[in-house]
Structure 1
């Protein structure tokens, strides 16, 4: 399968990075306000995919994103919705809690999206490439090879190294795993800015994003916490159609389960993230 790669050229100034909006309109609106306050134009705001997901406002979220004119690649959820598939394509183990929950939120999201939104998903590329401070950056969802591959900080560097080689990039910006982290070896940098649609299993309701700045070394990734009206998000999710466990996570900051996590990341549950 040929990849659709959108090379957006050389960027300057600040670049806002985020992922996993997950149909969380309140978080997206808060992030847009940050971008405006920081003077970051929409073309310098880049999402690692999964604009649609667990929360209650998929259509409103996607239309808001489209109107904002920020850039995004496809996540596994966008691919499945675009292709009219019956599951989220998240690569959850069959019969797991995540798999069972996806049989609630994915059909809900699918039922809410307009044809205009589905048409918009058709326009999203598999990857985005750009240069910043004379470094080549690639944006992927899971990995360069597999949109649903879970790559964590504890994932062996040899796996990451294969991605850098295939992408021909100095930096990879990735999503999918839901946890913010930075991993560096020599002159290669793997960055997951985190997701804004769900907390990072650290016991706090805020969510994560990151900013690059061409006035600073590219290795200086400014990870930030995003505060937003999570109470409203929680209330909207308690509609009888979505998993109540995910609505609870919105306010507690603790994941319902850790089925996708390696042992290293499991040990970090409820602990502050220091980046």
Structure 2
């Protein structure tokens, strides 16, 4: 499906596919955070708009628009608005809200909205991204990305390369088509069986490892009862079947200016 970014003439708007890696995930012991496949998949599930020059944000705690000041790195003079390439940053709304105005119009396919938010699992102390749902299949103008400062009188830095916006298309109305239901596990014998197999294997493996001075190689077939990796491999706990459409990564296309191709130049 065609997904187009229309930039205003001569503006350097930097968009890239979502990245799997996070610095804090790299710093976890043995990088164990990457063992959580849903976490990594969320990181890649869309596109990022990227900061081109480093700057600091300071909010004085007031509700006034000029209560938010931008300070380019290397300077001490505060600015009401900071421009870098294809984006302006300022405190338009007041109340500690920082606005990123990107000089690009994103056009989704018919009947697709755009979910606009901060990059998943990407954190900044003292500031929080605000999320929005935008009808970008008809809208002939750009949207703004907004962050809420939560700590006044503190310098909050955006480094070059930091994502300030993350977005992905969602079919309009799908959430309203859902028919939410509450049921007991006893009503689904197959799910109950798989759940019990997984629960028993986890409990047994934990008890075995709780025994002091016991090594994996000293216990015959211990690998068969290790619970780790079921979801990563798309397997059911019973080991009798798997999910054929399981995804372990995403191949998200870059925005391309090649007019001879569609689907992001893929």
Higher strand share: 2
Higher helix share: 1
TM above 0.5 = no
TM-score, scaled relative to structure 1: 0.24
Bigger CA radius of gyration? 2
